[in-house]
Amino acid sequence: MLKNIISTYAARFAGMLATIAILPIVTAGAGAAGFGLYSLTVSMGLLFQQDLGMTAATVKFVAESRARGEYERLKKVVATSEAFFAVLSVVAAGLLALAFALTAPTLSVPPRFEDQLLILFGLGTANVFFALLFAPVRQTLTGLGSLNVVNAFLASQALARIAFAAAAMALGLPLWVVSAIDLAAVLLGGLGMYLYQRARFPEASTSLLRADWRVFRDIFALSSQLLVLSLAGVVILQFGSVVAGILLPLTAVAAYAAAQRVYSLVKEVTASLSSAVLPAVTERQVTGGAGANGSVYIRGTKYANILMLLVFVPIMAVGPQLIDVWSGGRLEGAGAAAQVLVLSLLANNNHLLAIPVLTAQQNVKRFAVLHLVWATTAVLLSFVLAPMLGVAGIALAVCLPVVCLEYFYIRHTLGSLGQAWSTFLRECLLRPYAALALPGLVLIVIGAFVPAQVAMLAVVVVVWGLLALPAAYRFALAPAERAQVRRILRRH
């Protein structure tokens, strides 16, 4: 599991690096309005790039079949997943094309981008089609224990996007070329993973003729719970850009997209753990070790909170200055919106690791309901707060519901895993927050006086690392955990 976690962090870091790097690259070449148009296209694509809960369900059932040695069922699971996504890719692409057609008349597109709008929308539609078509390959490899290989492909895709997008903008090529690069990365990465699966795992190689309706019903019994969770999650993350596009100028779309990228960077600390944990907890569930999954959630959430705070504090201290440097000062309001979004992770981060653990139990129905309430409330609030507070209002609309709902997420998790509130409060909250509270508060106060200069911001980040890492090691970790860290460091 440790190797999977490390490789997942590397791949997610490369993906976040691409997300961060694209903003200054595109804004330098196409301006804030150009980046806003590009971001709107990406956000709408992600809204329709929904797996209906089938990707996580595929990982779970592939890992389960492999752990039990049921290779005939494994082939049926893979074939059924591939058939489902082949149909879904066509339906989703068609719906996205219709959404683009309905959205286009409402946009205030600068004249220089009018002739590119149709191309951008076409490339965005193709991106969704191929991303969904290749989705089961990535999940099958993950379930078969090759998450490291998947992560290598994802990291390569992300780094290639940065390099080619920078070259395109430096050469003065049109904005749509950046979207074409995104599409090429999806195509080449998906094809590469497909060929690897065929060569490395012949026992999982199959044809669509093996798709089985009974297997689909088994998978969908879980994926139907994950469906609402997945759809609500994307609405929570992406719908803010759509609201900004409807109610505010394209520059506001760019500002919210920048804030959302900062939020995703901090949230990714725990999301990376989640994707690496699912195959492992599924195997524990199959082999009779389900009781150990409670300790996986407690320890994992504690580590996730420690890692999240390491990124959280610099964002709260000098987030607006970092965004000004990052965007060249072109995105007014992005800094405040980013801080509001990131602040919600003090609550939100405590249930993220529960999702894969409860997925292994096929017990995420309560989370689906809570996510639906969160998404619905966030959308309604965003239409109210955006005209009043701009992009910061949209961020506030996203954050307020989860702060109120987090207690219910945690209560369900602890009850399902047989863990006590006292254990959760001590290990997941008290240890991480007590260890880093004092140096964090000091840095946040000092950060208000730090100018938006690269050298000064780098000093703040380095000083925080020098203060926080020893404090987390000494006070957040138990003696046995500190000994384990020393053994790992000596071994590597």
Residue 53 reports pLDDT greater than 70: no
Is residue 369 scored above 60 in pLDDT?
yes
Q: Are 241 and 40 in contact (CB under 8 A)?
A: yes
103 vs 10, more confident: 103
Give the CA angle between residues 353, 41, 258 to the nearest 5°: 55
The whole-number average pLDDT for the span 22-50 is 80
Whole-number Å distance between alpha carbons of 427 and 156: 36
What does the block give as tokens for 433? 């927050």
Q: Which DSSP string corresponds to 26-65?
A: HHHHHHHHHHHHHHHHHHHHHHH---TTHHHHHHHHHHHH
Residue 292: the pLDDT is: 66
* pLDDT at position 40: 82
Q: State residue 408's pLDDT score.
A: 95
pLDDT of 44:
82
Residue 10 binned pLDDT confidence (cut-offs 50, 70, 90): confident
Q: Which of 204-213, 254-263, 326-335, 433-442 has the lowest mean pLDDT?
A: 326-335
Q: Are 262 and 315 in contact (CB under 8 A)?
A: yes
pLDDT band at 240 (very low <50, low <70, confident <90, very high): confident
Q: What is the pLDDT of residues 169-197, one digit of tens each?
A: 888 898 899 999 999 999 999 999 999 99
In this predicted structure, what is the pLDDT of residue 287?
66
Q: Which residue has the tokens 């989640």?
A: 274
**Looking at residue 204, what is its pLDDT?**
80
The mean pLDDT value for 140-163 works out to 87
422 C-beta neighbours (distance < 10 Å), count: 8
Distance separating alpha carbons of residues 178 and 184, to the nearest angstrom: 10
| Element containing residue 429 per DSSP (H, E) | none
Residue 59: predicted pLDDT = 81
Instruction: Parse the chain into domains and list their residue ranges.
Output: 2-491
Whether residue 161 contacts residue 20, with contact meaning beta carbons closer than 8 Å, is answered with no
Q: How far apart are CA 47 and CA 104, in angstroms?
A: 16
Two structure tokens written together for 141? 């490899």
pLDDT interval class at 235 (50, 70, 90):
confident
Concatenating the DSSP letter of every residue in 61-82 gives: HHHHHHHHT-HHHHHHHHHHHH
Cα 104 to Cα 250, 304, 394, 409, distances in angstroms: 13, 41, 22, 38
pLDDT for 492 equals 57
Q: How far is CA 59 from CA 138, 140, 417, in A?
A: 9, 6, 21
Neighbours of 179 (CB within 10 A): 24
pTM here?
0.69
- pLDDT bracket for residue 290 (50, 70, 90): low
| pLDDT at residue 286, rounded to an integer | 65
Please determine, for residue 422, whether its predicted confidence score (pLDDT) is greater than 90: yes
Q: Where are the alpha helices (DSSP H) in 328-430?
A: 334-343, 345-352, 354-360, 365-389, 391-417, 421-424
What does DSSP assign to residue 290? G
